[in-house]
Amino acid sequence: MNMALSALRGVAQTAFNLNCMDAETLARIRSVKRVNGDIQRKGRALDKQEIRALIQAAKQHPQPVRRCRDAAIVLTLCGTGLRAGELVKLERRDYDNGILTVRQGKGRKYREIHVADAVDRAIRAWLKVSANEAENALFSRIQRNGKAATQPLTTTGLTGILEQLQLTSGIARFTPHDMRRTFITRLLEQGVDINTVRQLAGHSDISTTTRYDYRGESMKISASRRFKCW
């Protein structure tokens, strides 16, 4: 709504400059105040049961190659916190011995992520079944015949894969970026200090990282009960 108001003010100013509007009308338009809406957090963090359900849904696909790829995508997203755009730009050279290199992160920032064992196994399984077909892209498209294609995934394609897994698993709707929120939330739940989380997420400002904290009330209650100042 505020964007619309800003656009209308711009049109009114241009109309005034072209002598198509009088000063009083322009002043009345400019006096319309911005709207202060309720502050609601975007997105959500998936719980452990939902992640397991997505992995199980991936493993139900009739194509073995598709099973390996989709399971690896789910584990990579929630286990590394990659943005959708970062994941689809990954090349095969970017993964080596459990280390994922993000060369084209947001703001052209470079970072390395040491992945968990489960993520490493999933990526290795995908690379093994797609080694003879796929070329440069770490995560490629899959042809109708069940073979990996040479073309890399797109963000639209990635969203479609996750939507299909969501429908198959029966969990609530989520976005690819919610997997990033899940990654950050899990790290904080496990007691990782927020500055380390910031670095793993590729954030420049720690205040950005705090907006991804979706820990529930149970964590606050638990922290309060464990607190000692004596």
Q: What is the pLDDT of residues 27-50, one digit of tens each?
A: 999 999 888 766 566 899 999 999
Distance in angstroms (rounded) separating the CA atoms of residues 137 and 179:
21
Catalytic residue among 180, 181, 186, 198: 180
Catalytic residue among 147, 177, 211, 215: 177
What SS3 state is found at 151?
strand
pLDDT of residue 22: 93
pLDDT of residue 228: 63
Is 180 a residue of the active site? yes
Is 114 a residue of the active site? no
Using alpha carbons, list the distances in angstroms from residue 205 to 43, 199, 200.
20, 9, 12
Catalytic residue among 69, 95, 203, 214: 203
Is 103 a residue of the active site? no
- Listed as ranges, residues in the chain with pLDDT below 70 are 37-41, 107, 132-135, 219-220, 222-230
What SS3 state is found at 150?
strand
- Token couple for 81: 């916190």
pLDDT of residue 226: 67
CA atoms 149, 152, 154, 155: torsion sign: positive
Catalytic residue among 83, 181, 186, 198: 83
Catalytic residue among 30, 93, 106, 124: 106
Distance in angstroms (rounded) separating the CA atoms of residues 165 and 83:
18
- Token couple for 102: 């993000």
Is 147 a residue of the active site? no
Strand ranges of the sheet holding 95-96, from the earlier edge strand across to the other edge:
95-96, 99-102, 111-114
* DSSP of 96-149: ETTEEEESS-GGG--EEEE--HHHHHHHHHHHHHHTTT--SBSSEEE-TTS-EE
